[in-house]
Chain A
Amino acid sequence: MSDGEPTPSTAAVAEPPVLTRLRERFPDAIVATHAYRGDATAEIAPATLLDVCTFLRDDPVLAFDLLADVTAVDYIGTTPRFELVYHLRSIAQGHRVRVKTRVPEESPRIASLTSVWRGANWLERETYDMYGILFDGHPDLRRIYLYEEFQGHPLRKDYPKEKRQPLVTARDVAPEQAERTEAREQQRYGRWPE
Chain B
Amino acid sequence: MDAGRNNPPVTDDLHTQPMEIQMGPSHPSTHGTVKITLKLDGERILDSEVEVGYLHRGFEKECESGEYYQAIPYTDRLNYASPMINNVGYCLAAEKLFGITAPPRAQYLRTIACELSRMSDHFTCIGAAALELAALTPFLYCVQAREQIYDLHESLCGARVTTNYVRIGGLQSDLQPGFAELCRDKVAAALKLFGDVDELLTKNPIFRERMERTGTLPADTLIAYGVTGPLLRAAGVGFDVRRAEPYLVYDRLDFDVPVGSSGDNYDRYLVRFAELRQSARIIEQALRDLPDGPVDVDDPRFRWPAKGKVFNRMEELIDQFKLVTEGMRPPAGEVYQAVEGANGELGFYLVSNGTGKPWKCRCRAPSFSNTQALRDMIQGALLADVIPTFDMVNMIGGECDR
Contacts and interface: CB of A to CB of B under 8 A. Distances in A.
A122 B99 contact: no
Nearest to A140: B49
29 contacts: A1-B99, A1-B331, A2-B99, A8-B331, A8-B333, A36-B333, A37-B97, A65-B223, A68-B226, A68-B347, A69-B347, A69-B364, A71-B360, A73-B359, A85-B349, A87-B364, A94-B244, A98-B334, A117-B224, A118-B224, A119-B225, A122-B372, A123-B226, A130-B60, A145-B56, A145-B401, A154-B61, A155-B60, A161-B65
Interface string A104-147: 00000000000001110111001000100000000000001110
A65 B237 CA distance: 13
B99 A37 contact: yes
Interface of A: 1-2, 5, 7-8, 36-37, 39, 41, 65-69, 71, 73, 85, 87, 89, 91, 94, 96, 98, 117-119, 121-123, 126, 130, 144-146, 154-155, 161
Given A2-B99, A68-B345, A161-B61, A8 B226 contact: no
Closest 4 CB pairs of A and B: A119-B226, A145-B53, A145-B56, A69-B364
B394 interface: no
Interface in B295-317: 299
Contacts of A36: 333-335
Interface in B36-80: 52-53, 56, 58, 60-62, 64-65
Contact of A7 (B331, B335, B372): B331
B98 interface: yes
Given A89-B345, A161-B65, 20 more contacts: A2-B99, A8-B332, A37-B99, A65-B220, A65-B223, A66-B228, A67-B226, A68-B226, A68-B347, A85-B349, A96-B336, A119-B372, A121-B372, A123-B226, A126-B368, A145-B53, A145-B402, A146-B53, A154-B61, A161-B61
In terms of DSSP, what is the predominant structure of the interface of chain A? mixed
Contacts of B60: 130, 155
Contact of B349 (A67, A71, A126, A144): A71
Contacts of A69: 336, 347, 349, 362, 364
Nearest to B62: A161
Interface string B335-357: 11010000001010101000000
